């Protein structure tokens, strides 16, 4: 063994900013894994997901949750699923591989993204300053997930509750995205 040891830090070092009616909080307790579905394996994967934790594959742009609500699947494109779940260790891909026992390709994406939770009754009013999507609750329902671009930054946005969103931007852009959200909050609130 090497004599050195490493310390991990999250993309935004646990940043949190509170405003009247709004909180911006870095998400540090969740992992994200890309699950690619090999050719002709969709049926087997569907069964494995269902039998392992009650998940079903959602339609593109929607999400699905496991029986115990702990694991969320985001469907953003044809042959891929993003799995968002509470896990803090370094082997998120292997953990899921063992849990699902589904014949998919697993790629850890937890460190690829800076994850920010935008919550509070003012969420939509603040997000509409940077998010080009229609976030009206009837259109962007709870559970909807989409790729978009905010402030020139490729972003994934997931509505986990009426007034709660998860914003994902490439990790290196995390500080810029948090800044953009803060500026929006200051301009609006």
Per CB under 8 A, residues contacting other proteins are 1-11, 34, 36, 38-39, 79-80, 90-91, 105, 107-113, 128-134, 136, 138-139, 151-153, 170-173, 175-177, 179-180, 183-184, 186-187
Measured distance CA(64)–CA(167) in Å, rounded:
17
Complex with other proteins: residue 50 or 128, whichever CB lies closer:
128
SS3 49: helix
**Hey, what are 179's tokens?**
């800044």
User: Nearest distance from residue 92's CB to other proteins, in Å?
Assistant: 10
User: Nearest distance from residue 137's CB to other proteins, in Å?
Assistant: 10
Complex with other proteins: residue 51 or 189, whichever CB lies closer:
189
User: Nearest distance from residue 68's CB to other proteins, in Å?
Assistant: 26
Complex with other proteins: residue 9 or 59, whichever CB lies closer:
9
User: Nearest distance from residue 42's CB to other proteins, in Å?
Assistant: 12
What are the strands, taking DSSP E only, across the chain? 16-19, 22-26, 30-36, 63-65, 72-77, 80-86, 105-108, 113-119, 145-150, 153-161, 164-170
Instruction: Give the contacts of 98 (CB within 8 A, at least 6 positions apart).
Output: none
């Amino acid at each position: 063994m090497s004599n050195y040891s490493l310390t991990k830090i999250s993309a935004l070092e646990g940043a949190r900013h509170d405003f009247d009616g709004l909180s911006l909080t870095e998400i540090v307790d969740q992992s994200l894994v890309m699950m690619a579905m090999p050719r002709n394996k969709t049926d087997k994967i569907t069964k494995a997901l269902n039998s392992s934790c009650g998940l079903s594959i959602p339609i593109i742009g929607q999400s699905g949750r496991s029986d115990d609500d702990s694991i969320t699947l985001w469907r953003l494109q044809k042959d891929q699923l993003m799995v968002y779940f509470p896990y803090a260790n370094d082997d998120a891909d292997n953990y899921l591989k063992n849990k699902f026992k589904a014949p998919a390709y697993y790629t850890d994406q937890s460190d690829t993204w800076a994850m920010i939770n935008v919550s509070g009754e003012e969420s939509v009013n603040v997000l509409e300053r940077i998010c080009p999507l229609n976030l009206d609750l009837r259109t962007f329902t709870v559970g909807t997930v989409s790729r978009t671009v905010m402030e020139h930054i490729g972003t994934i946005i997931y509505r986990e509750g009426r007034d709660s969103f998860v914003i994902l931007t490439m990790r290196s852009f995390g500080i810029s995205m948090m800044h953009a959200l803060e500026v929006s909050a200051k301009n609006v609130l």
